[in-house]
Amino acid sequence: MIYIVTGATGHLGNTLIKKLTQEGHKVRALVLSGENTAMLDPLPNVEIFFGNVLEYDTLVPLFQNIKENDEICLIHTAGIISISERKPKLMQKVNIEGTKNIIRLAKACNVDHFIYTSSVHAIPEPEEDSTISEIMHFDPDLVVGAYAKTKAIATKYVIDAMNEGLSTTIIHPSGIIGPYDFGQAYMTRLFEGCFNGKLNARVNGEYDFVDVRDVAEAIYVASLKKAQGPFIINGHKIKLEELFNKMREIAGFKRKPVVFAKWFVKIFLPLIEKIAAKRKTSPLFTRYSLYTLSAHCSFSHERAELMLGYKPRNIEDTIRDTALWLIDQKRVVNKKSIRYILKRFKPL
């Protein structure tokens, strides 16, 4: 089987390609022009194609010179994730129009199976704190936040294509964490700051986080089984207090972070956003991120367990491996932390 993966340099994209090549498959990786492909270069059987999901003609070469009897699995991971309440035009275009282009391509090229990476944020929250399971109807008016709305709209288009006969898997990951994030994702920056001893404040709240490698594994199994329909791929619901404690324990830090009330942080959000804009980074706290930490996050992966044999790894393993990978990438520079972590654990 030949795999075509969009968003190839992203956190999930490059981790998935690593998994696919380890299993001996050929991969055609779609990369946005100008992006760094260093993480893909050492991997065997990876052919890089430069293109843009917003420009249909640049996607066509992905399907050229493929043997007639080769099965094709198209995996769409490209997208823009944002914890902002704003509605940046690029995020709307990439997440919605880009997905429509990929669906059009899948139909035109008669792919054997299509896998779309959605998000649990596309699924409406229940009125009560009950377990959230897969659904087949998506409505942007029923979810909160610009990002969630774009994923709900895009997922609706994917559902329509599936109902029209396109063999399709829809993956709904919870908050993705773990090693191999070569970008500046929100949670990776939080881990990085904590292991460097610079993140000395937090708020209360909880969320469900899943290891990126578990998501990649679920996608791979779904591709082999050509599993149809939606699957929630979540990990473990954890309070921020417990998450910070586990990170501090692994890094050998004893000082406890200051805990700010959410209402207090909200007062300073304009200043926080202004400072982040000046530094050309994304703020760690936004109204939407604070909302998410208070939202329902009891997800069920029962369907994935039954049909894909899915089982998430321990979150302690994820935290450890993220720390070791960040050290390897020289993104953890705190010497005390590095010595403590490497003394306890072997490098990846």
pLDDT tens digits for 108-124? 999 999 999 999 999 99
Type of residue at 295 = A
**Which DSSP state fits 345?**
S
Give the span between the Cα atoms of 305 and 339, in whole angstroms: 38
Q: What one-character-per-residue DSSP string does 136-158 give?
A: S---GGGS-SHHHHHHHHHHHHH
Q: In CATH, what number does 2-183+209-236+298-308 get?
A: 3.40.50.720
Q: What pLDDT is stored for residue 277 in this prediction?
A: 65
Give the span between the Cα atoms of 166 and 103, in whole angstroms: 9
Q: What pLDDT is stored for residue 44 in this prediction?
A: 95
248 falls in which pLDDT band (50, 70, 90)?
A: very high
Sequence spans of domains, the chain: 2-183+209-236+298-308, 239-296+314-344
With 0.85 as the threshold, say if the pTM is over it: yes
Q: What pLDDT is stored for residue 271 in this prediction?
A: 59
Percentage of the chain surpassing pLDDT 70? 89
Give the span between the Cα atoms of 200 and 211, in whole angstroms: 24
Give the span between the Cα atoms of 24 and 46, in whole angstroms: 11
pLDDT tens digits for 75-106? 999 999 876 656 688 999 999 999 999 999 99
- The burial of 163, by beta-carbon neighbours within 10 Å (0-12 exposed, 13-18 middle, 19 or more buried), is given as exposed
Handedness of CA 152, 93, 292, 242 (dihedral sign): positive
Strand order in the sheet with 206-211: 175-177, 206-211, 236-239
Q: What angle do CA 265, 269, 273 make, to 5 degrees?
A: 140
Q: What pLDDT is stored for residue 308 in this prediction?
A: 98
Among candidate residues 68, 82, 61, 81, the one with its CA nearest the CA of residue 7: 81
Q: In the predicted model, what is the mean pLDDT of residues 324-341?
A: 96
Q: In the predicted model, what is the mean pLDDT of residues 327-340?
A: 96
pLDDT tens digits for 159-192? 999 999 999 999 999 999 999 999 988 899 989 9
Q: Higher pLDDT residue, 83 or 8?
A: 8
Q: How far is CA 148 from the centre of its chain?
A: 13
